[in-house]
Chains A and B, each alone.
Chain A
Amino acid sequence: MIPEIGLLSLIIALCLAFAQGILPLVGAQTGKPAWVAVAIPAAAGHAVFVAISFISLTWSFIASDFSVWYVAMNSNTELPLMYRIAAVWGGHEGSLLLWVLLLAFWALAVAAFSRGIPTLLRARILGVMGLISAGFMMFVLFTSNPFLRLFPVPLNGNDLNPLLQDPAMAFHPPLLYTGYVGFSVAFAFAVAAMLSGTIDRQWARWARPWTTMAWMFLTAGIVLGSWWAYYELGWGGWWFWDPVENASFMPWLLGTALIHSLAVTEKRGLFKSVTLLLAIGAFSLSLLGTFLVRSGVLVSVHAFASDPTRGLFILIYLAVVVGGALSLYAWRAPNLDKEVGFKPFSRETFLLLNNILLTAAAGLILLGTLYPLVLDAMNLGKISVGPPYFETVFIIPMLPMVVLMGVGMHTVWRSASATDVMRRLRMAVIITVLSGIVIPVLVWGWNSLLTVVGFVAGAWLIVSSLIDPVRRMMGKGPRITRGMAGMQIAHLGLGLCVLGITATTSFNIETDQRIVRGESVVVGDYTITFDGVQMVNGPNYQAIRADMSVTRAGQPVTVLHPEKRVYAVQDSPMTEAAIDSKLNRDLFIAMGDDLGDGSWSFRIQYKPLISFLWLGSIVMVLGGIVSVTDRRYRLAAPATRQAPVQAATVKST
């Protein structure tokens, strides 16, 4: 019964999404207020019914209703409750339903928190989101129905893939999808603006917080996935330039460019066509990511099933969405940008360069990701493009970008004075170069020129982000708005990431060792002793656990317990690494095989500063949070600004 309620709700939601999509858009073009007024109630109803559908599926998982095929394939009565809920999005069908749910919630949020936005613009935004959602729901209903019944009903389910039975993995898909889907809001803003034909600074101000929020979720989702790969999947690797990772990283790069382009559009009324293109691009790459992951052209832990109809459906959908938006753009864009001058040395130029470099990086990653697929499709051989390519094409645009960022933050709009900026940055440059070169060499020794460049780049970002806050604390600089503070915090976070990446790639120690019970090996400054193994029973697995005691200069540091698990239902072995995390380094031990003579093989790694990578990412997200809470986003449009400001003043007195 419950699964049928879920299916029925999804069909009702589809009808409401069509109503939300078609009526307001047509009404807005033809001037029918009654049709336009459908947008908000339809969006609300749409969200409610998608939610009922999603709850129905979740209920089937909690109740272990194995008469539902999808539940039988992805759950098991032995599975802990938390993972039974996470298993809802552990497979293809459920993760698409999650996509639809999040899209409906974003639309609901736009409906609820956009009172300042003119009715027509809001109706168009909701309309575009309704159509996007309708397309996805048709995809779910026609190719990936999660409510299909199974007969005969199995006694127990197939269990969730053990790799996914992990707290980080429970949250990674929802966060990542919230980010992906969130770019649909920016996309809808762009399409709505092109339909109406007016794109002004006010429009950019409305679009900015939505874009930043989507970016924050995407950032958090990507990092959580990377962190999971680090301790669960990758034997200590945290980024593999796997096509699926690239699929999430490309929208992130374009989304980052979009945030910066929107800033110029809001403050100066410039770059309108660039902003529109980036908004279309960021969401298109999100859809492309979904296509790559879901169509089965890629097979990895993320690619749940290879089904050509699914791939074809998404490809057509992608063509309609991207093609439609780009045609609209081709029609509208020529009349958008009016000439407003700016000098070559100005904040505008730096932001433009930033966007070019980010787009170039995304484009080159796209090239490397699609190239093997194209070759394979044309029967020109099976190749894979390895990390060296991606590392090269990523570092080349990113290094100048990081240098420019540090300068760009301290330039003003329109026309900046180069001498002023140089004078302000002189101290910062000295501090950066000294700390970026001297400290790492003292701590870890000399590695390579690229290492030095990496440390200097990271230090440069951190130092230059701190200039204004430090000046302010000394009572010199101007007041820092939330928007500015958010920018500085996010850039500081990126600087921490750069330091972490540089240190961990340059001074990483990784070694496969054979250790006899009772003996020890030396890795860096650490001595690791293999004390023995024991059997351990988990809720749905059995494990062999090793006891490894770690000492440094004779002092005990910690005892680590890497495990090899065998999950009962799927009979699949899993390596559970043990990590000792400190701010300055991680010690990572993964268990290999029993070598037969009382010795085992272990992979032992020493990873300096890797925590800076996770920490820096969190700081970036914090920067996003600070900037979206800027007061100006809560103010209404300029025409009606007076009233709320006065109300606020009255309240505060």
Chain B
Amino acid sequence: MTPRRRRMVIVGAIFLGVATAVTLGLQGMQESMLYFRSPTEVLSGEAADGRDFRLGGMVREGSVERLTGDLEMSFDITDFENSITVRYTGITPALFGEGQGVIAIGRMEGNSVFRAREVLAKHDENYMPVEVADMLAQQQQPEELSTESSTN
């Protein structure tokens, strides 16, 4: 094989590989992309497509309810303007709690209830999910803005 032809084969192979990879990648991305939404955004109709998304905010004080002896639970996620009731069956992370930042992954069931398949809480007592922190910062909730940093 002449050097020229070899180079062409190599360049061709690289091009083909990259093109396939990018196409597949972008396709895969469409499917596994999850939007982050606040309760207010959801209530204004942004989650109407029925797809999974990430609902974030704070767990409203006094809203966590658990039927005695059952894994099924419900709580409200609030952005201090609106809140949405979340239903979840399973175990919540150790740092899940009322008045704490939280992200739930799942989709809307009807217009007012969010069915979560996964609940994420923060990693330590100071950290808040970055999207939640940003969202609250935009809403000017000064005393809730403990977002400056985690101390670890």
Minimum CB–CB distance from A440 to chain B (whole Å) comes to 26
Find the residue from A74, A352, A390, A393 having the highest chain B CB count within 10 A: A393
**What residues on A are CB-neighbors of B128 within 8 Å?**
299
**What residues on B are CB-neighbors of A384 within 8 Å?**
33-34, 36, 54
B149 lies within 8 A of A306 (CB): yes
A91 lies within 8 A of B152 (CB): yes
Q: If the complex has contacts A301-B123, A344-B1, are A595 and B95 also in contact, measured as CB distance less than 8 A?
A: no
The secondary-structure label for the interface of chain A is: mixed
A385 lies within 8 A of B32 (CB): yes
Minimum CB–CB distance from B80 to chain A (whole Å) comes to 18
B3 lies within 8 A of A339 (CB): yes
A357 close to chain B: CB less than 8 A: yes
A389 close to chain B: CB less than 8 A: yes
Cα separation A324 to B25 with both chains bound (whole Å): 30
Minimum CB–CB distance from A336 to chain B (whole Å) comes to 14
Cα separation A390 to B32 with both chains bound (whole Å): 9
Q: If the complex has contacts A341-B3, A343-B1, A595-B70, are A575 and B94 also in contact, measured as CB distance less than 8 A?
A: yes
B21 lies within 8 A of A595 (CB): no
**What residues on B are CB-neighbors of A573 within 8 Å?**
94-95
**What residues on A are CB-neighbors of B3 within 8 Å?**
339, 341
Closest A residue to B27 using CB positions:
A392
B149 lies within 8 A of A596 (CB): no
- Residues of A567-601 contacting chain B, CB below 8 A: 570-575, 590, 592-593, 595-597, 599, 601
**What residues on A are CB-neighbors of B133 within 8 Å?**
299
Contact of A572 among B9, B10, B95 (CB under 8 A): B95
Contact of A512 among B10, B17, B21, B90 (CB under 8 A): B90
A596 lies within 8 A of B68 (CB): yes
B28 lies within 8 A of A341 (CB): no
Find the residue from B123, B125, B128 having the highest chain A CB count within 10 A: B123
B62 close to chain A: CB less than 8 A: no
**What residues on B are CB-neighbors of A571 within 8 Å?**
125
Q: If the complex has contacts A163-B124, A299-B127, are A389 and B17 also in contact, measured as CB distance less than 8 A?
A: no
Q: Interface 1/0s, chain A 198-221, versus B by CB < 8 A? A: 000000000000000000000000
A382 lies within 8 A of B131 (CB): yes
Closest B residue to A595 using CB positions:
B69
Q: If the complex has contacts A360-B17, A364-B21, A571-B125, are A383 and B36 also in contact, measured as CB distance less than 8 A?
A: yes
**What residues on B are CB-neighbors of A307 within 8 Å?**
149
Minimum CB–CB distance from A236 to chain B (whole Å) comes to 11
Contact of B70 among A233, A299, A389, A514 (CB under 8 A): A514
Q: Interface 1/0s, chain A 164-195, versus B by CB < 8 A? A: 10000000000000000000000000000000
Minimum CB–CB distance from A385 to chain B (whole Å) comes to 6
A603 close to chain B: CB less than 8 A: yes
Q: If the complex has contacts A512-B71, A514-B71, A596-B69, are A572 and B151 also in contact, measured as CB distance less than 8 A?
A: no
Cα separation A368 to B29 with both chains bound (whole Å): 7
**What residues on B are CB-neighbors of A305 within 8 Å?**
149-150
- Residues of A285-300 contacting chain B, CB below 8 A: 296, 298-300
Q: If the complex has contacts A593-B92, A599-B69, are A392 and B33 also in contact, measured as CB distance less than 8 A?
A: no
B152 lies within 8 A of A164 (CB): yes
B21 lies within 8 A of A570 (CB): no
A73 lies within 8 A of B151 (CB): yes
**What residues on A are CB-neighbors of B21 within 8 Å?**
360, 363-364, 393, 396-397
Q: Interface 1/0s, chain B 16-33, versus A by CB < 8 A? A: 011011101100110111
Minimum CB–CB distance from A643 to chain B (whole Å) comes to 39
Q: If the complex has contacts A344-B1, A356-B14, are A389 and B125 also in contact, measured as CB distance less than 8 A?
A: no
**What residues on B are CB-neighbors of A339 within 8 Å?**
3
Q: Interface 1/0s, chain B 89-133, versus A by CB < 8 A? A: 111111100000000000000000000000000011101111101
Q: If the complex has contacts A386-B33, A595-B69, are A572 and B24 also in contact, measured as CB distance less than 8 A?
A: no
Minimum CB–CB distance from B72 to chain A (whole Å) comes to 10
Minimum CB–CB distance from A576 to chain B (whole Å) comes to 9
**What residues on B are CB-neighbors of A235 within 8 Å?**
91, 93
Cα separation A161 to B151 with both chains bound (whole Å): 8
A410 close to chain B: CB less than 8 A: no
Cα separation A91 to B151 with both chains bound (whole Å): 8
Cα separation A537 to B75 with both chains bound (whole Å): 32
Q: If the complex has contacts A364-B25, A385-B29, A573-B94, are A160 and B13 also in contact, measured as CB distance less than 8 A?
A: no
Contact of A389 among B9, B28, B90, B150 (CB under 8 A): B28
A160 lies within 8 A of B152 (CB): yes
Find the residue from B91, B147, B148 having the highest chain A CB count within 10 A: B91
Cα separation A383 to B95 with both chains bound (whole Å): 23
Contact of A90 among B54, B125, B152 (CB under 8 A): B152
**What residues on A are CB-neighbors of B89 within 8 Å?**
512
Closest A residue to B33 using CB positions:
A383
Cα separation A162 to B126 with both chains bound (whole Å): 13
Closest A residue to B72 using CB positions:
A514
Closest A residue to B9 using CB positions:
A344
Minimum CB–CB distance from A250 to chain B (whole Å) comes to 14
A387 close to chain B: CB less than 8 A: yes
User: Given contacts A382-B35, A389-B33, could you give 16 more A-B pairs where the C-beta distance is less than 8 Å?
Assistant: A74-B151, A161-B123, A162-B124, A364-B21, A364-B22, A384-B33, A384-B36, A384-B54, A385-B29, A396-B21, A397-B17, A512-B91, A572-B94, A575-B94, A595-B71, A601-B71
**Would you mind naming 30 contact pairs between A and B with Cβ atoms under 8 Å apart?**
A74-B152, A298-B130, A299-B133, A301-B127, A306-B149, A307-B149, A341-B1, A341-B3, A352-B10, A356-B14, A356-B17, A357-B17, A363-B18, A364-B25, A367-B22, A381-B35, A382-B131, A383-B33, A386-B33, A387-B32, A390-B32, A393-B24, A393-B25, A572-B125, A573-B95, A574-B94, A575-B94, A597-B68, A602-B91, A603-B91
Which 4 A-B pairs rank lowest in CB-CB distance, beginning with the nearest?
Answer: A592-B91, A161-B152, A388-B32, A299-B130
